[in-house]
Amino acid sequence: MTEEITYANLKFGNSYEMDNITESEDTKEKGPPASSHPQWPVVLILFALCLALLVTLVTITVLFLQIPKVYRTQLRDLNMTKNELQANFSNMLQAIGNQLCLEGEKKLKNNGQNCVLCPANWKWEGDDTCYYYSEEMKSLEQSQQFCSSQNSTLLLIKEAAKLELVKKKRRNAYWLGLTFRHDQGDWYWADNTALTEEQKTWIKDSNSFRPCAYFYKGVIYGTSSCENQYYCICEKPAIRLQRDNNHWQEDWFVRSK
């Protein structure tokens, strides 16, 4: 009996030690679970990049959708401005036509349903041109600058009818928009057209060494120094108005030549 108890104790004791050894080895083999904290910075960076990309895409989309709207708004404003300007111009044209063409001086023979208008202090000589006769004598360059400031040019006598028209009106000497160009070896009008063979017969005493032309007592002279002092005649196209009479309206409009 004593031997059995001792054997049982020994066996129990050995079993306890074996369990401790086995548990200790299992614990060493498994060890603590690995920490996942080092992965969080990478996740946060990727999330931030995705968020920034999303915000950028949304912003671009909004801007892209707004561009056509801005253009449509600008186009609408431009159309409204154009319509307002057209209406104002039409109203002004009607007032000018009624006052100057229907209520103007009858002695001008420029009244009625068709009339020609020139600026103040400019003369209408019966053609499609308005003329300004200067009251001061100037050099050719000074005369050109003055006419240019009036949106006009020096007198261009390019038709025989115009030559006859002008020679009846004045007796003073006037500059013409006609000069000799040494580099091209010919006379040219101020609008850069060359003097024709017919027009050359109108010039008396042409002299390329005195290359500026003037008009005096119905004759064109090409013998003047450009520094001489003469009067000048400026010219510009006249405005022709015509009244449109029909059963619906009576409006003035600018008539083309």
Can you say how many angstroms the Cα of residue 156 is from the centroid of all Cα atoms in its chain?
A: 31
pLDDT for 1 beyond 50: no
Using the CB atoms, write b or e for 19-34: b if 16+ within 10 Å.
eeeeeeeeeeeeeeee
- Write out pLDDT tens, residues 82-136: 777 877 777 776 776 666 676 555 555 555 566 778 888 998 887 788 999 999 9
**Rounded to the nearest 5°, which phi and psi values hold at 7?**
-65, -40
Contact, 128 vs 114, CB < 8 A? Answer: no
Model pTM above 0.85: no
pLDDT classification of 250: cutoffs 50, 70, 90:
low
What is the rounded end-to-end Cα distance, in angstroms, of the chain? 149
pLDDT (mean) for 221-250: 79
For domain 114-237, the question of CATH label 1.10.3720.10 is answered with: no
Can you say how many angstroms the Cα of residue 159 is from the centroid of all Cα atoms in its chain?
A: 36
pLDDT for 53 beyond 90: no
The percent of residues in the chain predicted with pLDDT above 70, rounded, is 65
Helix/strand/coil for 175:
strand
- So where are the chain's domains? 52-103, 114-237
Give pLDDT, residue 57: 81
